Amino acid sequence: MNNESHYTRRNFLKLASLSAAGLAAARPLKTFAQTNNPKTDRVLGVALLGLGGYSKNLLAPSLFETKNCKLTAVITGHPEKGVAWAKEYKLKEKNLYTYDTMDSIANNPDIDIVYVVTPPGNHRDFVIRAAKAGKHIISEKPLATSVPDCQAMIDACKANSVAFSVGYRLFFDPYHTEMRRIARDGDFGILKKMKGQRGFKMTQHQWRIEKALAGGGPMYDIGIYLIQAACMAQNGETPTYVAAKELPKLRPDFFKEVEETMQFSLKFANGSQFDGIASYNGSGDYFRAEGEKGWIEFRQHAFTYRGVDAFTSRGQLNYPMAVHQQALQMDDFADCVRTGRKTIVPGEMGLRDIKILDAIYAAAKSGKWTAV
């Protein structure tokens, strides 16, 4: 489940025309085909499971921009929310479900995809139930709160022959797509030196500080973006070792079950290393990767919905984009379902990241470099 409520969706994007520097710096987005996906005769129906802020403020508006899918149903633990959504989005009454009645979606042809948008501690049960109902599934990040739960979700989707994806929206953002291309094509050599930070000040009690629901603190919630970026910059490779240190809590009475701030490092087989920090009592939204021949740097808004400030040693990157990242993400998954193409953000990637998080927490306890 994303923790971006402190950003408004109206400000998530900064549109700008391509400057001369941007034109010089920007390479064609060869893998960014989602913007050109044709509208199909068969538009797939999406049921949002969990109607919190992320569904309300980002996923629902994004589904008005998609070409291959549309909002057709909701599943909620609060029936009154379902009624309100039906009125606002003109949903059929038969397409309103509660957590108790959701298993009957198996008999509803209006629903092709279930998007699970609840706290991660609930992902396992909802994903398995949706898979048994024969529906294709997107699960928000982090995938779950344990490796066994992730594996159980993957196994259930395979057993029921349904597609399974993680809500890693940044794989469909043009700036992060360009970083992946740079890493793949070796424009700047191996990006051996990486650093980043992500943080904000949490002021109100919420499920994100409850270990059973969240899995962990800022590492699970926002640190996972830093892990993702480091792996992107290494052409999708997984770190072999990690090190970590939990910093002293400034508000121990508030963060009773999870860490408040974590420093961590990721070491890759080729000698590359990432050093970063994730915090619920700090600030920052930054990432940099440097190679022998050049560098790429996200100076602010590195992982948010708003326009990314990205630069390379060639100049500023500037890709005007008039749609939500989430619209591109969901359209791509719908196209995968329609064509049988494999998603670039499969459940196995979510499992990988939970394994990395497990190793980070183990390293923080031991004080030693720990194998992933």
Q: Do residue 290 and residue 179 come from a single domain? A: yes
Residue 3 above 60 pLDDT? no
* Confidence at residue 80, expressed as pLDDT on a 0 to 100 scale: 96
User: Which one of 151, 169, 187 terminates a domain?
Assistant: 169
The answer on pLDDT for 1 being more than 90 is no
pLDDT of 78 over the 60 cut: yes
Indicate whether 155 and 191 sit together in one domain. no
Helix axes 123-132, 147-159, angle to 10 degrees: 10
pLDDT for the residue numbered 256:
96
Query: Cα(196)–Cα(39) distance, rounded to whole angstroms?
Result: 38
pTM score above 0.85 = yes
Domain shared by 198 and 267, yes or no: yes
Question: Whole-angstrom Cα distance, residue 143 to residue 349?
Answer: 9
> Given a cut of 90, is residue 83 above it in pLDDT?
yes
Residues 260 and 304 in one domain: yes
| 103 and 131 together in one domain | yes
User: Would you say 62 and 39 are in contact if contact means Cβ atoms under 8 Å apart?
Assistant: no
Token representation of residue 190: 């191996």
- How does residue 320 score in pLDDT terms, banded at 50, 70 and 90? confident
Total number of domains constituting the chain = 2
Residues sharing a CB contact under 8 Å with residue 130, sequence separation 6 or more, in sequence order: 49, 102, 105, 114, 116, 137, 162
Host domain of residue 124: 31-169
Answer with the one of 138, 169, 200 that is the final residue of a domain: 169
State whether 190 and 203 are in the same domain.
yes
- Provide the pLDDT for residue 34: 39
Domain membership of residue 12 (yes or no) is: no
Q: What is the pLDDT of residues 290-309, one digit of tens each?
A: 999 999 999 989 999 877 88
